[in-house]
Structure 1
Amino acid sequence: MNLILTVLEIVAPVFLLAAIGFTWVKLGFDYRIEFVTRLAMTLSVPALIFVALMQTEIAPDALTTVSLAAVAAYGLVTLGCFIIVKLGRMELRTYLAPLIFGNTGNLGLPLALFAFGDEGLGYAVVIFAIMAIYSFTFGVWLVSGGGSLSKVIKEPLVGATLLGALFMLVDWQTPRFLTNTIELVGQMAIPMMLITLGVAVARLKPRSVSKAIVTSVLKAALCIGAAWAAGVWFALDPVPFAVLVLQVATPVAVTSYLLAVKYEADGDAVAGLVVVSTLLSVLYIPLTLAFLV
């Protein structure tokens, strides 16, 4: 019973905030998702990443090990998802990127924070940054054929990650007044991303639900297995191990739908994956946490 209550305390705020966004839209209130997403990805999330890295107590060798484990996990996920797409005779350009890249920002960061505190958030930020760089290069190339290094360099979250890592490694700190300001900006990120997730799910019009269900179940099993194997192989400590599994196992990101629409892939099919995998995560994420907490 205590374990169940602990898991509920961790996941309930995440899904309740998403439910607020979902209900907001269903009640007919306006929500400018493009503006909020831009605000989050260019200001609040980079601020959150920078402060989390600057203030984290992760040892450099542990940081390197987690990074290598994350790269290995995503390598296994990429190979497994490629096989799933090919065996299922699905369109590579539409399905592969959404299956690889999970919702490590909107869902993964809050889960890591609520489950494992500031230490967990520090590890989650590192894994999120690795996934984001992979997504903005290989992911965009998959969907559009036009991924480039310049797109990565221009992303504020990448700059914030590199700057935060520098401050962490050399043990620098910004002046207190500036740190307080950046922290306030970063504190907007998690509730804003979760509410936006609920709004986005409420507005999606999915199709091919039966295919989305089967594919989402396979994705969840593959991602958990790949992250677990990478964590064991690199002998991660309990907290980074748990955070790696949680981050890699997050459901299909809403940004995958936005990219599919932007580059004229099958947006409705991706919408189905987002909705189904997000709903499915309400079941499998608490179960996964029960084994990790």
Structure 2
Amino acid sequence: MTSFWGLFTQIAAIIFPVLGVIVCGYVYGRLRPNEAPQQMGAINPLVMEFFTPMMIFGAMSQKSFDIYANGALMLAGLWVILGSVACGYVAAKIFNIQVRTLVPTMIYNNCGNMGLPLALLAFGAAGFAQAAILFVMCNLLYFSLGVWLLSGRRLSWRLFNTPIIWSIVLGLTMALLRLPVPEPVQQLLNFFTQAAITLMMFALGVRLLDIDWRQMKIGLLGGVLCPAGSLLFAYIAQQFGWFDLTQQQMAQIYLFASLPPAVSCFMMADYYQQEPSKVAAIVLIGNVLSLVFVPFGLALALV
């Protein structure tokens, strides 16, 4: 009983700050139903075009961000995502849902505004850098395979000419060449990281007001399938020992697998007009269900 209570309090301590900011966003949206969406509409481009690229580069420039030592972690993350994609493809065929609607939400989980702060709280700075590796890999996969699906199997190189992609390219270059970042610059990037994480979680809380309950069925399907499929494939990888992960790397994979679809999935679906109301239901209901799946993933990670 003591160990169970210890695990429960540890998980609660990790999740509470994240949920606290999300709840504050939700309450603010309730109190300001007319102003809040407009304010978030003005802030979101700033977050996506400035704070998030700074956050990504800041995570990738840390000394603990060792891409050579975490190659197996990237492969395991890729396995988990592709497993979730396979589950989504099968479900889309069974339930007569457009593949372009469901499958992209299986590719891009909430490893940014939820996964990064959870990893920082659960595993410290080294864990944050490992989570950033998974975040980078997830972004690269979504903005290639995911966008290819959303666009009707057409790619525009303009999609790669974004601050996020350039921050990933710059960060990868510095990581591969092992170029150090001066400490004052790293401290500046840390400030941007904290601001990005807080703003993204707050915006997610405001977004929870937009759940369209008429799309409950597909919302529940996608919201459950993304973490459940990922956790299943993470468990398979652990049981067969395919990637030879360390204990902390396996814990990262379980946390990564438990995350819901990302808010960015809705933004991209809206851009391509690919049933955005259904994608919004998947994303928002999935994030509500994270109250169940994330503690479960953390329990697997911390045991």
Give me the TM-score of the superposition, normalised by structure 1.
Answer: 0.91
State the partner residue of 1:90.
97
SS at match of 1:106: coil
Q: Using the alignment, how far apart are the partners of 1:117 and 1:152 within structure 2?
A: 33
Q: 1:225 pairs with 232, 237, 257, which one?
A: 232
Q: Do residues 238 (structure 1) and 247 (structure 2) align?
A: yes
Q: Using the alignment, how far apart are the partners of 1:61 and 1:180 within structure 2?
A: 24
State the partner residue of 2:263.
254
The answer to whether the 8 A contact 2:107-2:141 is kept is no
**Residue type of the alignment partner of 2:20:** L
**Residue type of the alignment partner of 1:269:** K
Q: Do residues 263 (structure 1) and 267 (structure 2) align?
A: no
Q: Using the alignment, how far apart are the partners of 1:227 and 1:61 within structure 2?
A: 21
Q: 1:214 to 1:180 in 2, by over 3 A?
A: closer
**Residue type of the alignment partner of 1:8:** A
* RMSD of aligned alpha carbons: 2.1
The answer to whether the 8 A contact 1:201-1:274 is kept is no
Q: 1:4 to 1:162 in 2, by over 3 A?
A: same
Q: Do residues 74 (structure 1) and 74 (structure 2) align?
A: no
The answer to whether the 8 A contact 1:46-1:186 is kept is no
Q: Using the alignment, how far apart are the partners of 2:175 and 2:220 within structure 1?
A: 42
Q: Using the alignment, how far apart are the partners of 2:262 and 2:169 within structure 1?
A: 23
Aligned length: 293
1:120-131 matches, cutoff 5 A: 120-131=127-138
Q: Using the alignment, how far apart are the partners of 2:269 and 2:188 within structure 1?
A: 36
Q: Using the alignment, how far apart are the partners of 2:132 and 2:67 within structure 1?
A: 15
Unmatched 5+ residue regions in structure 1?
none
State the partner residue of 2:17.
13
Q: Using the alignment, how far apart are the partners of 2:91 and 2:57 within structure 1?
A: 36
Q: Using the alignment, how far apart are the partners of 1:49 and 1:292 within structure 2?
A: 24
Q: Using the alignment, how far apart are the partners of 2:170 and 2:211 within structure 1?
A: 36
State the partner residue of 2:8.
4
Unmatched 5+ residue regions in structure 2?
none
State the partner residue of 1:289.
298
Q: Using the alignment, how far apart are the partners of 1:59 and 1:5 within structure 2?
A: 31
Q: Using the alignment, how far apart are the partners of 1:125 and 1:60 within structure 2?
A: 10
Q: Using the alignment, how far apart are the partners of 2:177 and 2:270 within structure 1?
A: 42
Q: Using the alignment, how far apart are the partners of 2:62 and 2:144 within structure 1?
A: 28
State the partner residue of 1:38.
45
Kindly state the Cα deviation for residue 248 of structure 1 after the two structures are TM-superposed. Answer: 3.2
Q: 1:148 to 1:62 in 2, by over 3 A?
A: same
Q: Do residues 190 (structure 1) and 194 (structure 2) align?
A: no
- Identity percentage of aligned residues: 27
Moved over 4 A (4+): none
SS at match of 2:112: helix
**Residue type of the alignment partner of 1:292:** A
Deviates more, 1:33-42 or 1:17-26: 33-42
Kindly state the Cα deviation for residue 179 of structure 1 after the two structures are TM-superposed. Answer: 2.8
Q: Using the alignment, how far apart are the partners of 1:162 and 1:185 within structure 2?
A: 19
Deviates more, 1:146-155 or 1:240-249: 146-155
Deviates more, 1:54-63 or 1:97-106: 54-63
1:99-138 matches, cutoff 5 A: 99-138=106-145
Q: Using the alignment, how far apart are the partners of 1:50 and 1:215 within structure 2?
A: 30
The answer to whether the 8 A contact 1:207-1:268 is kept is no
The answer to whether the 8 A contact 1:10-1:115 is kept is yes
Q: Using the alignment, how far apart are the partners of 2:289 and 2:172 within structure 1?
A: 34
Q: Using the alignment, how far apart are the partners of 2:272 and 2:167 within structure 1?
A: 27
**Residue type of the alignment partner of 1:53:** M
Q: Using the alignment, how far apart are the partners of 1:213 and 1:246 within structure 2?
A: 20
SS at match of 2:51: helix
Deviates more, 1:163-172 or 1:4-13: 163-172
